[in-house]
Amino acid sequence: MGTKGSELVKKINLGPSGLQVSAVALGVMRITKLDLAQATALLDTAYTSGINFFDNADIYAGGEAETLFGAALKNASFKREDVLVQSKVGIVPGKRYDFSKAHIIESVDGSLKRLGLDYLDVLLLHRPDALLEPDQVADAFNALQNAGKVRNFGVSNVNPGQIELLKSAVSQPLVANQLQLSLMHTGMIDAGIHVNMTDDRSFDHDGGILEYSRLHNMTVQAWSPYQYGFFEGVFIDNPKFPELNAALDKLAAQYHTNKSAIASAWLTRLPGTQVIAGTTNAKRLADIAEAGNIRLEAQEWYDLYLAAGNDLP
Ligand SMILES: NC(=O)c1ccc[n+]([C@@H]2O[C@H](COP(=O)([O-])OP(=O)(O)OC[C@H]3O[C@@H](n4cnc5c(N)ncnc54)[C@H](OP(=O)(O)O)[C@@H]3O)[C@@H](O)[C@H]2O)c1
C-alpha cells in the first residue's frame, strides 16, 4: 500500500509490511505543549514536508498526546488514510511493564478512542515485560488484527533474544523496532566497530540488534535523534559539543541545509533506519525534513561519528 503526499522526504519500506513510510517521522510525545491550532499546523507542516508517519504511545502526557494528535488529525488539511499512525502499549508508568492480553487489548481500545480512529497502522510493544508470556501477546495481536483494529505489529527497546521469544508464539511479522539512537547515543554501533576489543565501547548491551534487524527485515526507528544521555538535552547548538557542532556546521553549509537535517541524514544513512523526530516546532520540523534528500558520503558519516567523540580502533 502506498500513501499520498509529497515526495520531499524519501520513502522506505517499513520492514515487510508493504507500507512506504517517510524516512523522517514525527513523534508526538511532547505535543501537549501546543494548543490545537498549533498542533494542527505542526501536522500540516509534516505532511507538506513529505512526512507521512506519526508515532504516538498510550502513555504520552498520560494519554493527552493521543487526544490532541487525534483532534489535530481531524482538523488537518490531509486525510487520515493518506498517513500512517503508530502507537505503543505495554508501559504502566512507574508501576510495571505489561504485555498481558487484557492490558494490550484494553490499551489499544483506549488509544483508538482518544485518537478518534478505527484502526492503528502499527502497534509497538513499548518496553520489554520481564513477565512476558508469548501466547498472551499472540492472542492479543490476533484479536486486534481480526477486529481490524491494528494492521501491523512491532516492538521497541528489545534485543534479538526477546524478539525470538515473541516469535515463538506471534505469527504476524514484527515490522519495526524503536530504539534510542542518535549521534550522541551510538552504543549499538560502537559495539560493532569495537568487536573483539577489550575497551568499554566493545561491550554489546543490545545483542547485536542492528545486525539482527537487517537480517530479519525490521526497520529500526531511531528515538530521541537529537538528544544526548537519557533526555538530558539536545546536542545541536549545545556548547558542550563543540567538535560535533563544527562538523555539523561544515556539512550543513556544504549541503545548503541546516544542522538538524545533517544529524538526521546521519541516521537515515544507516540502512533500514527511520528517524522519529520529536520537535513541536513547525519550522524546525521542516528543517529536519530536508534530511530526506541528503545521502551522506561514507567519509562524511564517519567524520560525524568521530566528531561525536568516538574512535576507530
Ligand atoms: N520507544 C521509546 O521508548 C521512545 C522513547 C522516547 C521517545 N520516543 C519517540 O521518539 C520521539 C522523539 O523523541 P524526543 O522528542 O526525545 O527526541 P528529539 O527529537 O531528539 O528531541 C526533541 C526535543 O528537542 C528540542 N530541540 C531543541 N533544539 C532542537 C533542534 N535543533 N533539533 C531538534 N530538536 C530540538 C525540541 O524542542 P522544540 O519542540 O521546541 O523543537 C524537543 O523538545 C518521541 O516523540 C516519541 O515518539 C520513543
Say what the pLDDT of residue 233 is. Answer: 97
- pTM beyond cutoff 0.85: yes
The residues of the chain scoring below 50 in pLDDT are 1-6
Ligand 1 site-directed mutation target among 234, 245, 262, 290, most atoms within 8 Å of CB: 234
Tell me which residue has its CA closest to atom 36 in ligand 1: 279
CATH 3.30.750.200 fits 11-180+209-226+268-294, yes or no: no
Predicted local distance difference test score (pLDDT) of residue 4: 40
SS3 207: coil
Which residue lies with its CA nearest to atom 8 of ligand 1? 223
Ligand 1 centroid, distance to 199 Cα (angstroms) = 30
Q: Report the run of H or E that residue 163 belongs to, with start and end.
A: helix 160-167
Joined grid coordinates for residue 73: 488529525
Give nearest CA residue, ligand 1 atom 7. 223
Dist CA 91 CA 128 (whole Å)? 9
Q: Is the CB of 29 under 6 A from ligand 1?
A: yes
Q: Is the CB of 263 inside a 6 Å radius of any atom of ligand 1? A: no
The identity of residue 223, as a single letter, is W
State which amino acid sits at residue 65. A
Helix (H, G, I), strand (E, B) or coil at 55: strand
Q: Which atom of ligand 1 is nearest to the CA of 29?
A: 45
Measured distance CA(51)–CA(48) in Å, rounded: 7
Identify which of 68, 58, 76 has the alpha carbon closest to the alpha carbon of residue 31: 68
The pLDDT value recorded for residue 291 is 92
Which ligand 1 atom is nearest residue 56's CA? 47
Give the up-direction half-sphere exposure of residue 313: CA atoms within 13 A in the CB hemisphere.
Answer: 13
Predicted pLDDT of residue 8:
83
Atom 46 in ligand 1: residue holding the nearest Cα: 27
Of 26, 28, 30, best ligand 1 pocket probe by most atoms within 8 Å of the beta carbon = 30
Predicted pLDDT of residue 7: 61
Calculate the alpha carbon distances from 11 to 6, 170, 182 in Å: 10, 27, 20
Read off the pLDDT of residues 37-75 as tens digits, 9 standing for 90 and up: 999 999 999 999 999 999 999 999 999 999 999 999 999
Residue that is written with C-alpha cell 484502526 in the block = 119
Residue 140: all three cell numbers together: 492479543
Q: Is the CB of 279 under 6 A from ligand 1?
A: yes
pLDDT in tens, 2-16: 344 446 899 999 999
